[in-house]
Structure 1
């Protein structure tokens, strides 16, 4: 099986990306977040948010989609690292989701590889990301891609339930691809 085709998000992709994102939350965060919160996630509301943000900003935030056989099967978003109001030279992977029925096909790896490539080409020294502390599958995914927890942890609360996040980092300068299959 060949890898997915990675391209920038088009306005017409917003509904499918919302389906993937909501499905990803409901699958990946089951047991980590309150189920009523996950059940209440709305694909139409998420799609509306994507459409409203489409084309806004200074172009520093990049939304990528993965296609296989003409179907959008994954989405990733990266841009400048968000440290409060302070901008750093680092990049941040804001989100990466794959349609749950397509897990294990290398789609997430392809999206991450392209995000890393673009951030490296833009001159970012590191890529950072936040992941739920107790999301072991996601943490293994990032570790296989050369990321490591750097000791930073942020509180995150969903409907009164603590779901802390840990920060992962990866050097981009003169680094190999680092994604193991």
Structure 2
């Protein structure tokens, strides 16, 4: 996978040995800005029967995992098999504003194309302005908004649906 110009991030598929580092990354970056569930108790297996290593791209800086993107099918239906969905994106605080998120999103788009997808979609919390700006910069457009769809920490938050053709 290639990183955007100016980014030092190396993008690669996850391997089983990444599980502990990616779980730690999730714990270190957890926030209601982007999470729709409470932080699970430790330990928490990162990979499972639904999402394995090949469903994740990992960003490395200086040989250390600093982010990942999870790409999968939006539903188990055959009728949506032509669509891929970004189901999670995390970047370590220290690696932000260094092109890591951009490299991961571009990697997910490239992977979706290689898998033969015709569309790529995602869902993002309405109040997550940094993520929304990143996705918009990479060609995603708002395709729908579910007002106050999610309740987080006592507040109602919009669920924003974004996508783009491939």
- With the shorter chain as reference, the TM-score category is 0.7 to 0.9
The CA deviation at 1:61 is 6.2
* Counterpart selection for 2:163 from 160, 166, 169: 169
Residues 78-117 of structure 1: pairs in structure 2 closer than 5 A: 78-82=71-75, 86-87=77-78, 88=80, 89-117=82-110
- The alpha carbon displacement at 1:137 in A equals 1.3
Q: Who is 1:8 aligned against?
A: 13
User: Does the 8 Å contact 1:153/1:164 carry over to 2?
Assistant: yes
Name 2:152's counterpart in structure 1. 158
In 1, the alpha carbon distance for the partners of 2:128 and 2:138 equals 16
Render the CA deviation track for 1:135-176: whole Å, top value 9, x for unaligned: 11111110000000002427122354322211000111xxxx
- Aligned twin of 2:45: 49
Separation in structure 2 between the aligned mates of residue 167 and residue 11 of structure 1, nearest angstrom = 30
Which has the larger share of helix? Answer: 1
Change (3 A) 1:43 1:6: farther
| Paired residues of 2:139 and 2:164 also in contact (CA < 8 A) | yes
1:22 equivalent to 2:22? Answer: no
Distance 1:59 1:13, change over 3 A: closer
* TM-score, scaled to structure 2: 0.81
The 3 A distance-change label for structure 1 pair 62 and 151 is same
1:177 match: none
Secondary structure at the aligned position of 2:67 is classed as strand
Instruction: Give, in whole Å, the separation in 2 of the partners of 1:108 and 1:94.
Output: 14
Query: Please, what is the CA RMSD of the aligned residues?
Result: 2.8
SS in 1 for 2:101: helix
- 1:77-119 CA distances to partner (integer Å, 9 max, x unpaired)? 001123xx53402110001110011100111111111110010
Gapped regions of structure 1 (runs ≥ 5): 173-181
